[in-house]
Structure 1
């Protein structure tokens, strides 16, 4: 078995996956830099299995993805649609060389477009928050919220990731509050690792209006359940169609992403609170999500239990959501589990349920 990784050399994901491949007794995978893919310098070898990693966190790759259509300063929320188009085009170049991708371009194109992903899940009967029709700015957003009778929504860039540009918006009589990672300056919007609260409606409107040209996806803000004084949700990594690693994300605010300084919660405590029946139903939902992308080796499902633990919903699905260091199932981390699915399970695209049940589980 020959494996190639498309990624940024030195990236943690690339290193961890390569280590897992070597530990399985396979040759070290070739690393094909994203820069080479995007410039056409080196196509992947035909006949190999190719893992494509996130192209993020590299300034040159970012410029190549955008095709120089926009010049962004570090962290600036601009050109997100351009970067998405560059990602889809780059993956198509990889596939055109005759290699087999572990997550194909067609799936990644849907997973990295929140509007298309939401529509696919909803059509498959997966529980997701209701969404508004496309809005072109703050005035349209408020009008659509009023028509739907919603006072709280999540406003998300259609092509964003890692909570970049996400706004948790609550409105009421004479008040507006937006919780977001966005730093608003007179010149531009920047993503940051610090949550901010905006209560001036004119400023909130300016932020939304600046984001809108990139494309927005707006969902109803559903009340998550909590443990103690924190709300919780889950990142469930589904490999070869079955839930594997599960991480509890806990926060005192509406955005639970761990890189924002939030904490990992206690998985056993969440399972006890949910109860066996509701936990099983939630994991079955994650399997249904994966079945919407049958040619993908893995997907990262963000799942939330709602107040009372009797219902759950899928907030997002991630194409590159498998960086879960230290989370072991049957002694394997997320990358070793994927290699195991390829070697012992014999997984190939379109065969998501070939992994024997005894190698599947959830852990933290």
Structure 2
């Protein structure tokens, strides 16, 4: 049987590309061709032999690529998500049009996952448990719609953000407000930082929201999450070929649990020991992955309620598999990239008619 030929659209030298390459080579396959996002976005040559299986990887945090996506400026800035998204989707569709290539991730599904409003709507339409939500175009509209619904606490999310960039855990009690976010002002520009901080002056909070609002805001009712060891937690569950294969517990002393923002990996066994809850987590992640059947891998963020029974989906991530040194749930020792290569080989064999 002829082995599959693989290629990846990514940023040369990026850690994600390297981890996928290592997994491919470890399975005895030829090193994958790397197609640079720079060439995709600038109209450069984007070609690969017919029949190639193409993995689409994150544009990463490369400053040059960021400038191509949303224009020049500080690459850590939060604003500009709408421009980034438009250029990103155009790039995805250019990749999808390469003759003879079979993409391992459906580009239209990736586009949905990078629009929190559309992703939430797709999950809700499929009957997945998601927090109720609304859209807002300004700080005034945010406060007005919260008041109409009687919501005192919400998560304000940029429609096209990722990695919790610009996400605000917001609460109000009369004239008192509090916003918890990793966004901070540097030389007059709202940027991502690696430290979660609180704002309690309404003028500061309004400035945060108004800076983000032009790119679109997705606002979800706050879902009270369970605690583990005195820290709030949720789970990132990676599904490969539709099946949950990896999971990590993310814990934090703040409402934002992302590991790169001070969150820490928690005790997965403590969650797995609660059989009924664990089954709901896996079933929910699998059902969320089923909403994106054309995607080889997705990362599903599953929240566990304070009652330790209810669960809800916070996000579905197209590039949610960067979880180094994390073994698979079956105990086979495969990381998320090795798991995907195994799934690719399995699909290839079945396509060739092997049992």
Asked if the contact 2:233/2:250 (under 8 Å) is kept, the reply is yes
Partner of 1:163: 164
Partner of 1:112: 114
Partner of 1:331: 333
CA apart distance, 1:278: 2.1
| Superposed CA RMSD | 1.6
After TM superposition, which residue ranges in structure 1, 4 or more long, deviate above 2 angstroms? 184-188, 344-349
Superposition pairs for residues 267-286 of structure 1, below 5 Å?
267-272=268-273, 275-286=274-285
Partner of 1:322: 321
The alignment's TM-score, normalised by the length of structure 1, stands at 0.92
Question: What's the CA shift string for 1:133-187, capped at 9, x where partnerless?
Answer: x211111100000001100000000000001100000100231000001113573
For structure 2, the 5+ residue unaligned runs are none
| In 2, Cα distance between equivalents of 1:292 and 1:261 | 30
User: How many residues are aligned here?
Assistant: 344
For structure 1, the 5+ residue unaligned runs are 350-355, 357-364
2:65 to 56, 61, 67: 61
CA apart distance, 1:5: 0.6
Asked if the contact 1:184/1:207 (under 8 Å) is kept, the reply is no
Superposition pairs for residues 201-212 of structure 1, below 5 Å?
201-212=202-213
| In 2, Cα distance between equivalents of 1:190 and 1:100 | 37
| In 1, Cα distance between equivalents of 2:116 and 2:201 | 28
Change in 2 beyond 3 A, CA 1:186/1:205: farther
Partner of 1:340: 342
CA apart distance, 1:347: 8.5
Q: Does 1:13 align with 2:12?
A: no
| In 2, Cα distance between equivalents of 1:150 and 1:347 | 52
Secondary structure of the corresponding residue to residue 133 of structure 2: coil
Partner of 1:35: 38
Partner of 2:98: 97
Question: What's the CA shift string for 1:95-153, capped at 9, x where partnerless?
Answer: 10121111111001000000000000000000001102x21111110000000110000
| In 2, Cα distance between equivalents of 1:250 and 1:77 | 24
Partner of 2:296: 297
| In 2, Cα distance between equivalents of 1:242 and 1:208 | 37
CA apart distance, 1:261: 1.7
CA apart distance, 1:328: 1.0
Secondary structure of the corresponding residue to residue 300 of structure 1: strand
Q: Which moved more, 1:276-285 or 1:211-220?
A: 276-285
Question: What's the CA shift string for 1:311-358, capped at 9, x where partnerless?
Answer: 100000101110010001212110000000111354999xxxxxx9xx
The alignment's TM-score, normalised by the length of structure 2, stands at 0.94
Q: Does 1:44 align with 2:47?
A: yes
